[in-house]
Amino acid sequence: MMQYHLNGFKPGNYQISDAIRGPAVPPPIVDLPKEVDVLIIGCGPAGLTMARQMAEFSDIKTCIVDLKSGPLLFGQADGISCRTMEIMEAFNSSELIVKETYQLRQNAFWEPDEAQPNHIKRTHKVPDARIGLSEFTHGIVNQARLHDILLEGMENSVTNLVPHYNRQLSNLKVDDNLTQDKNAYPITAIFERNDISQSSKIETIRAKYIVGCDGARSATRKNLSISLEGDSANKVWGVMDVLVVTEFPDIRIKSFIQSKENGAVMIIPREGGYLVRLYVELDLLSKDKRAVDVKLTIDDIIAKAQLIFSPYKFDVKEVAWWSVYEVGQRVAERFDDRPIDNADNLIPRAFVAGDACHTHSPKGGWGLNTSLPDTFNLGWKMAAVLQGKADPRLLQTYALERRKVAQQLIKADRQLSKLVATRPTADKRGDQSKTNTADIEKFMARQSGFVAGTSIEYPLSYICTHQEYQPLACGFKIGQRFHSAEATRVADGRPQHLGHLNKADGRWRIFIFGNRQNPMDTNSDSHKLVQFLACADSSPVRRYTPESADVDSVIDVYAVFQQQHLSIEDMPDYLWPAKGKYGLRDYEKVFYAADGNDIFEQRGIDRASGCMVLVRPDQHVAGILPLTAYNELVNFFDSFMLA
């Protein structure tokens, strides 16, 4: 853990000391390109994750634009869920985030003291319910820091991608006559420059695809005539990041506080050891009023917090950032440009992601952690289509998979917003019942997998197969992300988290988990499967890998065996293939299950049968098959990939 912000909050790279740290300098303003493959609107978590993924592919031309004048300095979102950490590991960026974040390990609950009802009293502390759901821990860090790491990865990629700031989308047209021609550029976007020097300049881009990640007031969504469905409650909350002097004992623990008369506070300790975020319950709004209509100031939020914290002193020394918002839950009627009543056979060309298609309260920490996986889902699919590896209808699955998650999010946020508030919010059912912190604790425990992002499960489709073979590996849930566990590398004895092999490079993975047969035996199921993948004409590896490319460039295969006394030189060539311009051997594809750290036991893999686990480029398990199911493996990839 690192400490910073002792003498005041400063944005920027936390690897640089407080004394000299400053915000990143925006790139120089250059003209927009005239024609691109992918146009991304918005530099929030969804937009930057989409751009970070596209930046990996030198043959895809991407442009990302933003209304702001430069990178984010003060983050609205702060929580980094376990699943988001796993995604950042796919971009080789998890170590820095783990080092810099505040790790949430405990929750504390406070209620009115029965002896002195105007004072609060701790009822209990509990371990955070998400611990153990992932190899990563839920953490807290300035959203701007996550943005910086994504921006750095973009700029240091093979495409050297950087955003174009100071651009406002003024008009967007999708030519319906061109959308079904995959080589056409049906998108025309017109931008106005909003920098001081050339504020009147108009620029036009033509694009094959557009992804609107431009927030709750999305211009992309409005231009596509996509409506938001849902409602807002008449409750106002304040949020502030502060440096504070207090004797309140749980200021460095995530805490839920409910006072008798003055409302509720939720405490989120921030990174660095000193900064803390507070969500403060304010007042009810009258009908048809918005939070922006209420002329509340930071002094109002601080004064309310001081009342709730009684009898503890709460002396705010510095405010890094603050805002006022109303609770509301809305989800877009559709996530792409296809009409709702006639979508089946159409190629979508325009998409919305992140806050542009789902809005809610910030208290559950779901905003960034739902927005970022939106485009982690979409990015690999768009790359596969643009590179001619997959049928364009693959892009239809983005809306199928992510809109269901957004609906689950809205439902959970509506429940949490009611539980955290001490006074009833607007509810069409008129539910006025009082809750206490025990209800919050039960809710968080019940929703722990969803809050962590680890139990998000995509519905049945041709890239998320049926459950027939699920019992072969019950710990790798089909539709959920590949739940990492360690195995030991045969070549050098190093323990390796297998989930960390699933990088965001557009490749599919097949994990072969061997059965009790000796994999060196040419009659074993594992050996026969490897020979099929390497040599058979119908092998998806042979069918979909270009002749000039490395053997693992499209489908990357790993093997994990139960037997411990194996030697890499005895393995089939396919499991330690020669690659690259020099034909160097890859020694990092074969593993065994170690005593005391047995992945077969941890993930419920059938030792007698073994299995194949098919993992998508976004780390979700697409299917589980027996080691002998060659035809089903062939049919799976044939359903969407192009030879």
Query: Is pLDDT of 423 > 90?
Result: no
Count, residues in the chain: 643
230 in any annotated domain: no
Whole-number mean pLDDT of the chain?
91
Average the pLDDT over 549-576 and give the result: 96
Torsion region of 640: left, alpha or beta (phi above 0 gives left; psi -120 to 50 gives alpha): alpha
Query: Is pLDDT of 488 > 80?
Result: yes
Residue 329's pLDDT is 84
Residue 424's pLDDT is 43
Residue 376's pLDDT is 98
Question: 284 vs 240, 288, 289, 300, CA distance in Å?
Answer: 19, 12, 10, 14
Average the pLDDT over 562-585 and give the result: 96
Rounded to 5°, angle at Cα 460 from 454 and 462 = 115
Query: Is pLDDT of 59 > 90?
Result: yes
Q: For 362-372, what is each residue's pLDDT tens digit?
A: 666 677 899 99
Please give the model's pTM, rounded to 2 decimal places: 0.93
Residue 77's pLDDT is 76
Residue 327's pLDDT is 65
Residue 427's pLDDT is 42
59 in any annotated domain: no
60 in any annotated domain: no
Number of separate domains in the chain? 1
**How far is it, in rounded angstroms, from Cα 418 to Cα 296?**
22
Look up the domain containing 629 and give its range: 470-638
Rounded to the nearest 10°, the torsion over CA 346, 349, 353, 357 is: -60
Residue 362's pLDDT is 66
Tell me the Cα Rg of the chain: 26
- Which pairing describes strands 35-41 and 62-65: parallel, antiparallel, or unpaired? parallel
**How far is it, in rounded angstroms, from Cα 375 to Cα 405?**
13
515 in any annotated domain: yes
Closest CA to 568 of 481, 482, 493, 459: 493
504 in any annotated domain: yes
pLDDT band at 433 (very low <50, low <70, confident <90, very high): very low
442 in any annotated domain: no
Q: For 610-639, what is each residue's pLDDT tens digit?
A: 999 999 999 999 999 999 999 999 999 999
- 199 three-state secondary structure: coil
Q: For 14-27, what is each residue's pLDDT tens digit?
A: 889 988 988 888 88
629 in any annotated domain: yes
pLDDT band at 461 (very low <50, low <70, confident <90, very high): very high
Closest CA to 573 of 592, 543, 551: 551
**How far is it, in rounded angstroms, from Cα 395 to Cα 600?**
34
Residue 609's pLDDT is 98
Query: Is pLDDT of 463 > 90?
Result: yes
Question: 27 vs 11, 71, 151, 153, CA distance in Å?
Answer: 17, 9, 11, 15
Query: Is pLDDT of 128 > 90?
Result: no
Average the pLDDT over 287-294 and give the result: 59
pLDDT band at 510 (very low <50, low <70, confident <90, very high): very high
Q: For 211-234, what is each residue's pLDDT tens digit?
A: 999 998 999 999 999 999 887 666
Question: 367 vs 40, 258, 297, 398, 418, CA distance in Å?
Answer: 19, 24, 24, 18, 18
pLDDT band at 2 (very low <50, low <70, confident <90, very high): confident
* Residue found by looking up tokens 């061109």 in the block: 178
φ and ψ of 116, to 5 deg = -135, 85
Average the pLDDT over 374-379 and give the result: 98
Burial of 286 (0-12, 13-18, 19+ CB in 10 A): exposed
Average the pLDDT over 256-275 and give the result: 92
* Residue found by looking up tokens 């596509």 in the block: 224
Where does 242-330 have alpha helices with state H? 298-308
117 in any annotated domain: no
**How far is it, in rounded angstroms, from Cα 363 to Cα 497?**
32
Q: Which CATH number covers residue 594?
A: 3.40.30.20
